[in-house]
Chains A and B, each alone.
Chain A
Amino acid sequence: MFVKRNVSKLKNNFRRNNNLTLYFLIAPAFLSLLVWYYYPVAKSFIMSLYSWDGFLSARFIGLSNYKEALTDPDFWMAMRNMLIILIFKLTIPFIIPFLVAELIVSIKSKRTRDLYRTVLIIPMVVPVVVWALMWRNIYDYSNGFLNVFLKYIGLEVLVRNWLNDPATALGAILFISFPFVSSIALLIFSAGIEAIPTSIYDAVKIDGANVFKRLIHIDIPFCIPQFRFLAITSFAGIIADYTAVLLLTQGRPMNRTLVPGYYIYRYSTTDMRYGYSSAVALMLIILILIITFLFQKYMKSETEYYAK
């Protein structure tokens, strides 16, 4: 994908020059990453072979941390939840923005289109912590919007403690992005749909195809690069993210909202088991790299990623 492509570009088109100044130009960026990022992370991966509290006492225990994680039911609960979240977030927040983008693009006036787009991406600039805490208020058992509203319309049977009920907690976490019109997906899809040549639409119109046929045979195939781009750029973040869990449920109830990122967080904070949490982090990173590799191998295309 893009890493590889750029490197090969460097090889082909650029002037060779081993002038020392060039190293000074890249030094601040590279050395700061090396010292501030690569060193502690590499060290933590070595410490994943130790029983370590983050400070002094470190005892070499080989692969025990890994063994322990792989036999811990909590860890598998976290992986299960992660899988559910991944499946959900790689479908609904792609499909809905795609359909909304179709609606917006079908509007004739450019001004109206821009207005809709601008209004729909407002949630994107609201701090995520504000958003999550607002939803915590909405889910509140005694006085939250959701339960008050359900009582008001006579659906008292549905009233429950959304974030504390094992049956609904994970769903409630996923639902904080309702109605799932992800801003970035919306912008990318609407740009993609607008780029479909109008001549193709005209041809389809003459053939008398209806909107649904056009969607399936033209718009969706044309937007495959966009779907792929969004999947590649978002899956790692989805696997790792635990902001909403940290703010809303801390993994409760009964670990039903536990995710791998929060599992690491829990072992690093309350238990101070840094060796163990590093082992789990390394396993997740390897998982992410494997998925990235598979994406690149099996979803290759002529798509090029570039900066506008």
Chain B
Amino acid sequence: MKHGTLIIIIILSLFPLGLMIINSFKDPSQYLVNPIGLMFPLHFENYISSFTYIGPYFFWTFLVIFVGISMNLLTSSIAAYAFSRYRFRGSGIIYTMIIGLMFIPAVLVLFPLYLWNVRLGLKDVYGLMVSYWILGHCFSIFLLTNFFRNIPEELLEAARIDGAGHLTIWWKIVVPLSIPILTTLAIMMLLWIYTNDYVWQYIMSSNTSRKMIPVVVRGLSQSGSGGADLNKGREMAGYVIASVPMLVAFLLASKTFIRGMTSGSIKG
């Protein structure tokens, strides 16, 4: 009874994905006859055709994700080290100015940001990697500052007595102790950039040659607009290709993903 209910809920949650996989093997006439069930022969060439279109953009997507996340972890963790251990003139207000941005959804101010990026010469994927680096600060610093506070003071004190400077302490003591939280944070940013953000990528890169996968996938459903050669099988193969990297990563590291999704949650 319990299991039955849960299995029904699982089927309902995942049926769009099932539909996507089943239909990705159909040619247009098969899809017209039956848009629900599996049909033979399976048209694997949908995947080849879709991948030749999408494939090249994986490079730009990976670049944005890699640069955005690693730059963010670097600058956030250095700043969080200062915020977590010291109080200096203005530190309270600066901290509030940074993490207060968590309350203001950036989607409301995308156009001022877009115009400013254009003025600064930050185009398409270059603008995107800079945006993720900078906008990610609010949450990263919030999370890291709280985490760093729990590092025992004695460890840092010992290093200070040995004459270590701030950067040495940060790199030699704080960072090695924070690998789990940094991994969690990287996954949260990955989920944000690749799975949850679309509008900003669309505004920044829909008309340029360097795009990220979510925007390219959107283009797939429009190719042959006018409906002449609308190939749903090919379109859905593209959806599968775009979803697979995250699904594989999730199945390999589901514990870390789950930690990432619930970080910042509640005690008591």
Interface of B is mostly: helix
- Determine the chain A residues whose CB is within 8 A of the CB of B142 once the complex forms: 2, 6
On chain B, the number of residues with a Cβ less than 8 Å from chain A's Cβ atoms is: 109
**Of listed A25, A38, A43, A106, residue having the most chain B CB within 10 A:** A25
Stretch of A16-24, A59-67, A80-88, A158-166 at the chain-chain interface: A16-24
Which of these, A44, A125, A187, contacts B247 with CB under 8 Å? Answer: A125
Q: Which of A1-59 contact B (CB under 8 A)?
A: 2-3, 6-7, 9-11, 14-19, 21-23, 25-26, 28-30, 32-33, 36-41, 43-44, 54
Interface contact A103-B16, CB-CB below 8 Å: no
A22 and B78 alpha carbons, distance in the complex (Å):
10
A213 and B166 alpha carbons, distance in the complex (Å):
56
A178 and B263 alpha carbons, distance in the complex (Å):
25
B interface, CB within 8 angstroms of A = 2-3, 5-6, 9-10, 12-14, 16-17, 19-20, 23, 31-32, 35-36, 75-76, 78-79, 81-83, 85-89, 91-92, 94-101, 103-105, 107-113, 115-116, 120, 130-131, 133-135, 137-138, 141-147, 149, 165-167, 170, 181, 184, 191, 194-196, 198-199, 202, 213-215, 217-218, 221, 232, 235-236, 239, 242-243, 246-247, 249-250, 254, 257-259, 261-268
**Residue A225 is within 8 A (CB to CB) of chain B in the complex:** yes
Interface string of A272-292 (1 = CB under 8 A from B): 001001100100110011001
Would you list 28 pairs from A and B whose C-beta atoms are within 8 A, ordered by A residue? A6-B99, A10-B95, A29-B76, A30-B94, A32-B133, A32-B134, A33-B134, A36-B131, A37-B101, A38-B97, A103-B2, A122-B250, A124-B191, A125-B247, A125-B257, A126-B17, A127-B198, A128-B214, A133-B217, A133-B218, A134-B17, A148-B36, A178-B12, A181-B9, A240-B105, A268-B111, A278-B111, A307-B143
- Determine the chain A residues whose CB is within 8 A of the CB of B78 once the complex forms: 25-26, 28-29
